Structure formats: C-alpha cells, structure tokens
Amino acid sequence: MLLIVGEALVAFQRDLGRPDDPPRPPDASGAPAIASYIAARLGVPTAFVGGVGSDELGRFFRDTIYAAGVTAATVQVSPDRPTATVGITYDAGGSRAFDFAVTSSAALEVGEAALNGLPERADWLHLSGSALFFGEPLASTAIAAARRAHAAGARVSVDPNIRLEAMTAQSAARLREMIGLAHLVLPSEGELEALGLTEDELLERGAIVCRTMGAEGAVVRTGDASVSVPAVADPAAVMDTDGAGDTFAAAFIAATLDGADPVAAARVASRVVARAIAVLGPMSVVLSPADLRRDDGFGEDGSPAR
C-alpha cells in the first residue's frame, strides 16, 4: 500500500491568455492528492490522508479521489472548517500565480490520530514537501507518517516541491530530515541547492535521484550512472501542466512497484505525464495499470534497444 499525507485543495483556474474562454469548473487538487489520484488510477493500492470541510467543495474533492480508487474514508471531514482552495492564474506567457486560502481551513486540521495504523501497513510512503509549508498540525502529521513508515521498513520517496515564499528555517530543516529518510528523491531544478544539499551526497548514501526538468525531461542518477530521459509530450497537445510533477512522481512509484528499474520507471512516468497534461484538470486523466507497460524500445541503461 502507498501512503500519502498532505493538503487537500480545490483549485479555481483562469487563463489570462484566453480571455474569451468560458470559466473553468473547479478541480480537485493539492500536490499530494494529485499523486494519490494518479497512483490509484495506475492500480496501486493507495491511501491519502488529508482534510476537507463538510461543504460542497469537500464532497467534490472526496468524490473525485475515491472514484479514482483511493482507499475510501481516509479523508478527514471537519464540520467547522471550510475546504481549502487555491486560485491559479496563468498569464499570456504561461507563467502561473497562486492564491492559496489554506489558513484556518480543514486542510490543516489533520492530526496524527488520523493516520491510525496506516504508516505501519504501508509498503511505500510518498511525501510532497508542500505538506510541510502550509501549517500545523498537518506538517507534523506528515512528518510523523514518514518517520513511522520508514521505521516499519517502508520505502520513502520525497518530492521537495519547495515553496520559497513559504519556506522557513524550521520547514527547511524538516524537509532535509525527510530527504534523509528517502530511497527516492525527485527534485526540480534548484530545489536541492535551496536546501543546501547536493545530488552527490544523496547518491553516496544510496538514494536514487530523479531530477525533473519539465519539457526538458528528467535525469535519473543511481550510483555512478546518469541517464537522461526525454519528455515525450507533444507541445501542441499540452492543455494543462498543473500537477505534472506530482503525476511524474506517482507514475515513477507505480512503475517501480510494478518491477521497473529507475530509468524504465522514468520513461513510464514521462509517458503518463504526456497523457495527463493533454487534458484540463490535474485529476482528470483516465489511466489504468496498462499504462505501466514498458515496451518503449529502450534497454535497461536507457539506450535504444538493438
């Protein structure tokens, strides 16, 4: 079982470059929740621990994530707190601005009791660093889940997902600790440097590092090996890149659990991302375990098969 703990959000998006488009409906969102959705769609038994309000947005979030196959009844409902939201505005050049309404929301009201015995039953725990930046008790609960799962023998992966505007000395120290537990780290460009870490030191202690670079693909490093994995998305087909990194992480985990080596897992993840960003909404793409197929024409070292 894959366990993910973090923020549950509902996103409202608008694109200033398309002012004549009709308003978009809301999207279930939140980096950890997106990863949960994708993993479950790919056939991984997945539990997501987060919090929503007892309002219509909370019901919408739960309906979305449970319909994807995420273990039911793991999302906590707070009767006196609203569901957290985020406004995402795209400018004409495609850059995004975020307006979070998370303070005093149900997303933060997730205490360690909500974990029950899930960390001890998990085979894999995935942490998005964003879960550490919004506030308490959610941040401490996510940390407790990772510590407990690691102690029980689960594999741990961390997507730093740094929000520089929200990062404090404490949250940076906590994230460095979580990365220290990780078997797999999936940083974007510059994230490890922002934490005072290097890929080499993670590799020295045996972690796999998969650096994601958006349209430029990813670089997988294991030991002394470094393999570039190209992005396969057709730029003309891209509709919505929100959650692309979370989708990549979830698909990488799913492929690994299915038996793929790290390079093959990154190739699977690249294909899944191409599918996901070709539709509107970070939790809209329809996937199945068949999408984990690895007949991509490449050998185990990432070179073209002969």
For residue range 248-269, list pLDDT tens digits in order. Answer: 999 999 999 999 999 999 999 9
CA pair distance 254, 268, nearest whole angstrom: 9
CA pair distance 278, 41, nearest whole angstrom: 16
Torsion sign over Cα 115, 119, 120, 124: positive
Q: pLDDT tens, position by position, for the chain (306 residues)?
A: 999 999 999 999 887 777 767 778 999 999 999 999 999 999 999 999 999 999 999 999 999 999 999 999 999 999 999 999 999 888 877 687 889 999 999 999 999 999 999 999 999 999 999 999 999 999 999 999 999 999 999 999 999 999 777 788 999 999 999 999 999 999 999 999 999 999 999 999 999 999 999 999 999 999 889 999 999 988 889 888 889 999 999 999 999 999 999 999 999 999 999 999 999 999 999 999 999 986 654 444 444 433
User: Which CATH entry fits the domain spanning 2-292: 3.20.20.70, 3.30.572.10, 3.40.1190.20, 2.30.290.10?
Assistant: 3.40.1190.20
Q: Using one digit for the tens of pLDDT, what is the confidence trace for 128-140?
A: 999 999 999 999 9
CA pair distance 2, 294, nearest whole angstrom: 21
Domain ranges of the chain: 2-292
Q: Give the CA distances from residue 255 to residues 10, 69, 194, 285, in Å, rounded to whole numbers and listed in that order.
A: 28, 17, 29, 17
Nearest CA to 68 out of 38, 27, 30 is that of 38
C-beta separation of 206 from 180 below 8 A: no
